[in-house]
Amino acid sequence: MQSERALLGSGVRGAQRLEAELRASVEALPAGGAPARLAAAVGDALFPGGQRLRPRLLLAICAAEGGQDSDFAFDAAVAVECVHAASLVHDDLPCFDDADLRRGKPTIHKRYDEATALLVGDGLLTLAFERLAASEDPRAIRALRILLRATGLHGGLIAGQGWELEPSTKVSPDESAVRRYHAGKTSGLFAAAAGIGALAAGADTTAYTALGYRIGGLYQLADDLLDATATSAATGKSSGRDAALERPSLVRIYGVAGARAAFAEAFDDLLAAAPNRAVCMFLEAALSPIRALILPADAAPRRPAIAV
């Protein structure tokens, strides 16, 4: 395995290349026949990005397991980020959240219009699958299957959005129903990113796929807590939507205090579940800013002993 120093160095270079690859994908759209306005809207959906946590997770796991900065790894990372961006554009639409803000700026349907936002989301999904389908790497077809399942009707993003609309989920949510909804809407894409990262390094995908589900569960719990407790200025997006839309969440079930306690425990458990120290360090660095918004500064995470 690479040392922590090598992993962190790879992360900086990887982040730079990821941004360049995403930018090149958008810049190629008009030449490929996409209308200029639609291409501009796709660019606005991708830039400026957030943490790029999902593609960075993929690249970090690949590096931690001794993989190289291969074209395949970046094809997969770009595809994962395109799927994520598509999910945000669709989630913000009037038929779902009707959100005004995303990353501190007007959402795509507010900046353009609802029809354009719908096409942007659809276009980003096809761009993701196109990217992997065009890869000549023999692992690309397996990665494509993983990403399709994380996106689709069989427990993926689309299924998660569907569970959000189910009357039974809204009216009387229990923990199992909420976790099923979160597994599709959020955790599946994290699991896909983690599993594909291991695949890119030639490592066993099972443990990393499980880790991805843990990350997704923690991330969604954080998102629900911030929606309930933080201002739009702090999060960069519309707050209070879960309560307004009667959306199922663990905050609704356990209350803010109970959900915070669950987050603190899940954060520590996640670090303990990391298969090696380098991945543990990546997760702690990536997720600590979110943790700081939710928990008091004196509630430091329990640092587990991780085998290198």
The DSSP result for 192-250, as a single string, is HHHHHHHHHHT--HHHHHHHHHHHHHHHHHHHHHHHHHS-HHHHSS--SHHHHTT---H
Residue 106 DSSP label: E
CB 106 within 8 A of CB 100: yes
Q: Check residue 9 and give its pLDDT.
A: 39
Name beta bridge partners: 99.
none
For residues 148-154, average pLDDT: 96
**Which stretch of 80-89, 158-167, 230-239, 262-271 has the lowest confidence by average pLDDT?**
230-239
239-264 pLDDT, tens digit per residue, is 888 888 778 888 988 999 999 999 99
| Structural element, H or E, at residue 101 | strand 101-102
CA geometry: angle at 183 spanning 46 and 71, to 5°? 45
Q: Check residue 99 and give its pLDDT.
A: 93
**Which stretch of 118-122, 144-148, 304-308 has the lowest confidence by average pLDDT?**
304-308
122-149 pLDDT, tens digit per residue, is 999 999 999 999 999 999 999 999 999 9
Exposed/middle/buried for 160, CB within 10 Å: 0-12, 13-18, 19+? Answer: buried
Region 4-294: CATH code: 1.10.600.10
41-69 pLDDT, tens digit per residue, is 999 999 998 899 999 999 999 999 999 87
Say which amino acid occupies 240. G
| Structural element, H or E, at residue 105 | strand 105-106
Q: Check residue 173 and give its pLDDT.
A: 67
How is residue 56 written in tokens? 């960075």
Q: How far is CA 296 from the centre of its chain?
A: 25
Q: Check residue 172 and give its pLDDT.
A: 62
CA distance 274 to 35: 44
Tallying the residues shown for the chain, one arrives at 308
